[in-house]
Amino acid sequence: MELEPLRMRNGQGVLYTRRAPVVAAIKRGLNDSFETLLERAKIRNRQDPDYVPSEALVYHIRRTKSDNSEARFIALLDIINKRVADSCRRPGRQVGNQLYEDAELAELREATVNLVMELILKDQDGYEKKLDVYEFAFDKAVRARRIDHKRMRGRRPTANAPILDEISGEVRQDVEDALARLSSGQTPIESSLDCRIALRRAIDTLPSDQREVVELWMSGVQIESKKDEEPSIATTLGCSIRTVQNRRNRAFAAMRVALGLENDDE
């Protein structure tokens, strides 16, 4: 059985296509009874051979339009909502024997679930092409929705938050981890939003020349471009590559001191 192709195109105008494991999972689900599919959909361990990828679940919930089965739709929607929530950062954290909930993260998680659910509901009334990306790369699509919500709200929620953890009094672990990844140059641009938020206050304390370098670097601009038509930090700021590297290194060192990860006299 051939599956109906997706209709959304990427930035290069190429149609999104489902990955082979997703196609196989969809076809297996079509051969199963709905009850069997539903039981398998409840499996959370991705290594389990009966695990149903979230992308396949999106296909099946879209298919309930032709089934005209509200019960099937609701059952799948409940599972997909849980998958969306699982793809978001958990709002609870353990400190000693006490569990604390981050209200901001909890709100963001709920909003992301609602945004995805809105797309699903729109798709039930016709065909919502924006939902196609959830059949292509579910977790990345959820992450993009979460970022979109932050931007739509026009908020930088932790930009003014204290560097120190309110409960333990230590430097926040996410800040320390973010700076470590940033300094190593290993932070992927697509996942660096959390790092940018966590480090915002430290960046704002930098001299303007160092801050410009860090912000350009974090936005994906390379220090040196290998292609003439591609911008680089050096060409953007009108200075040498060595100057950019020195400013970057001084910035990272200053940020580590500002965050209390190193002493300024070391």
Domain boundaries, the chain: 20-152, 173-258
Higher pLDDT, 156 or 12: 12
Which CB contacts under 8 angstroms, 24+ apart, belong to 84-90? 84/112, 84/113, 84/116, 84/117, 84/142, 85/109, 85/112, 85/113, 86/44, 87/138, 87/139, 87/142, 87/143, 88/112, 88/113, 88/142, 88/146, 89/194
* Count of Cβ atoms closer than 10 Å to residue 102 Cβ: 16
H/E element, 93: strand 92-95
Q: What are the CA-CA distances from residue 98 to residues 90, 169, 171, 174, 203 (Å)? A: 16, 15, 19, 19, 32
Q: What is the pLDDT of residues 126-154, one digit of tens each?
A: 899 999 999 999 988 888 877 766 665 55
Q: How confident is the model at residue 61 (pLDDT cuts 50, 70, 90)?
A: very high
Helix/strand/coil percent split, the chain, to 5? 60, 5, 35
Residue entry with tokens 């739509």: 152
The model's pLDDT over 66-122, given as tens digits with 9 standing for 90+, comes to 877 788 999 999 999 999 988 877 766 555 666 556 666 777 788 888 888 989 999
Give the sign of the dihedral formed by CA 175, CA 181, CA 184, CA 189: negative
Enclosing H/E stretch for 99? strand 98-101
Q: What is the pTM of this model?
A: 0.55
- State the Cα angle at 159 between 155 and 164, rounded to 5°: 140
Question: At 230, is the secondary structure helix, strand, or coil?
Answer: coil
Mean pLDDT of 5-34: 91
Residues, the chain, total? Answer: 266
Is residue 171 within 8 A of residue 256, CB to CB? The reply is: no
Rounded Cα distance, 161 and 145, in Å: 23
- Reply yes or no on domain 173-258 having CATH 3.90.15: no
State pLDDT tens for residues 199-213.
Answer: 666 777 788 888 888
